[in-house]
Amino acid sequence: MRGVLRAAVLVATAALALSGCGGEGVGTDVYSAGGWPGRYSDARNSGTAGVEGLDDVTVAWSRSTGGMVGSPVSIAANGQIFVTAATDSGCNLFSYRIDTGRKRWCTRLAPGVTGVTPVADAVANVYVGEDGALVSFNEHGQRRWRIPVSGTPRTAQFTGEGKLVVITHFGQVNVVEPQTGELLAPLYDLVPTPELGDGQNVPRLPSGHGLAACFGGSADCPVATTPAVDLSTDRIFTTLWRPGADGAALVSLRYTGGDDAAVTEGWSRDDLPGGAATSPVLSEDGATVYIHDGDGALWALDSETGEPKWTHDLGFTPAAGPTVTADGVLVLAASGENGTFLALRDAGDRAETHWEQEDVRQVGVPAVTSNGLGYTVVESGDGIGALVFDAGSGEPLDEEPLPGATGFSVGTAVGPDGELVAATVTGEVFVLR
């Protein structure tokens, strides 16, 4: 049965790829300077930007998507903002101009898109998942191609050669040519598909099954997070809730290209207390992978072997992995219960508290710029506001209220000219410059 299903998907993929729009060049410089192309900026999920930040900002514009936003925005190098929202009607995938806030285009995809951050390449082509498919649009919103997958793709990543890595919430790993949508390696299933010995006529789960569980993680959503990729080795790191397990493991995969292209599984860390709870994050040199467990500890693991280097008990589990700077400072995101504004430093065999700002209650995910400034969202008066801070000391430099905003921010991004871009869970997008 597995062979039949794989063959069917490959045939359908080839047919759809041939019918897709072509002509847009996609080079290997996918993560070009000047944008925030993915959920956590780059392939490492580092939460850092390659442009300088601003120490004094004001709100330039804001607009509502018309629905709840569950995933951070991305920004192409040309300044196009991409965001998804759980709307009742109309569009649920939007593109806005960063300079004016004008909607450039929008469209409606299947509901699973609302938990995914679109990924942009160097020429503002965008790649996003919906229930049962991965779709690509060009910068004008014209569909380039659409390929079928099993499950709903989580936020995609790129390899060092500029190929797309797409893992669905069912655990199907796809490596795709971004120009055509062609599969470049046999499908790899992190969760084995039913075999003949499992019985006849075993029904395939609908591609939207278990998506609600992805927000907290459970066996119904085996892969709930965004993978991290080491561009120098094409090692891929992802969380995986295996059948019958009590929590998610952290798994290392390897993609090898060429005539014998394949995805293979390396090591697996299945013993994290409470399971792996956030997306993995790689250090700048790729030697260390950071992950939060479900019991409130941050782990640093050897990326080649999976062996622990150290653990650090926080007493809470942040909503996202740490933002990791080039010099080893780890700025923590907020959690639903704890707004502690805290940074650690990786000292090799342990983590040390680098700074803590006790008077600041964070309600967002931090981003750090190339000149050492940090952006995040904090409690401000009766609402929430954008904060600019010194990433080296945690010292607040500028705080600007976000008019009418409440709740928390699902993510912070940095625009090509250092703009601070934040999206709130209630559906507002703010740009500060």
- Phi, psi for residue 367 in degrees, rounded to 5: -130, 145
What is the residue type of 339?
Answer: G
pLDDT at 33: 64
Sheet strand arrangement including 308-313: 281-282, 288-292, 297-302, 308-313
Query: For 72-127, how does the pLDDT look when each residue is reduced to its tens digit (9 = 90+)?
Result: 999 999 999 999 999 999 999 999 999 999 999 999 999 999 999 999 999 999 99
Confidence band (pLDDT; 50, 70, 90) for 396?
very high
Looking at the DSSP bridge assignments, the partners of residue 302 are 288
237 contacts: CB under 8 Å, gap ≥ 6: 227, 228, 229, 230, 250, 251, 252, 253, 280, 282, 289, 303
Rounded average pLDDT over 391-408: 97
In this structure, is the dihedral angle defined by the CA atoms of residues 51, 53, 57 and 61, taken in order, positive or negative? Answer: positive
The CA distance from 211 to 233, in Å, is 31
As given in the structure block, the two tokens for residue 14 are 């080839």
Strands 409-414 and 367-368: unpaired
- The CA-atom distances, in angstroms, between 376 and each of 23, 187, 386, 421 are 38, 38, 6, 9
Task: Using pLDDT thresholds of 50, 70 and 90, give the confidence band for residue 2.
Answer: very low
pLDDT at position 338, please? 84
| Euclidean distance between CA atoms 184 and 131, whole angstroms | 21
Distance CA 141, CA 130 (A): 16
215 band by pLDDT with thresholds 50, 70 and 90: confident
d(CA 365, CA 387): 11
What is the model's pLDDT at position 408? 96
Alpha-carbon Rg for the chain in angstroms: 20
Torsion sign, CA atoms 45, 49, 55, 61: negative
pLDDT at 203: 66
List Cα–Cα distances, 138 to 21, 93, 181, 203, 395, in angstroms: 9, 13, 13, 35, 41
Give the pLDDT confidence score for residue 148 in this predicted structure.
97
- % pLDDT > 90, the chain: 86
Query: Stretch 420-425: mean pLDDT, rounded?
Result: 98
Q: In this predicted model, what pLDDT tens digit does every residue of 27-74 receive, in sequence order?
A: 445 666 678 999 999 999 999 999 999 999 999 999 999 999 999 999
Name the helix (H) or strand (E) containing 93: strand 93-97
Beta-carbon neighbour count of residue 88 at 10 Å? Answer: 7
Domain locations in the chain?
2-194+217-432
Evaluate if residue 23 carries a pLDDT over 80: no
Which CATH number describes the domain made up of 2-194+217-432? 2.130.10.10
Sheet hosting strand 164-167, strand order edge to edge: 157-158, 164-167, 172-176, 188-189
- The residues near 199 (Cβ < 8 Å, ≥ 6 apart) are none
Q: Answer yes or no: pTM beyond 0.85.
A: yes
pLDDT band at 192 (very low <50, low <70, confident <90, very high): confident
Does residue 243 contact residue 260 with C-beta atoms inside 8 Å? no
Range in 23-37, 84-98, 273-287, 370-384 the model is least confident about: 23-37
The mean per-residue pLDDT over the stretch 322-347 comes to 94
Q: What's 195's DSSP letter? A: P
Show Cβ contacts of residue 105 under 8 Å, excluding neighbours closer than 6 positions: 95, 140, 141
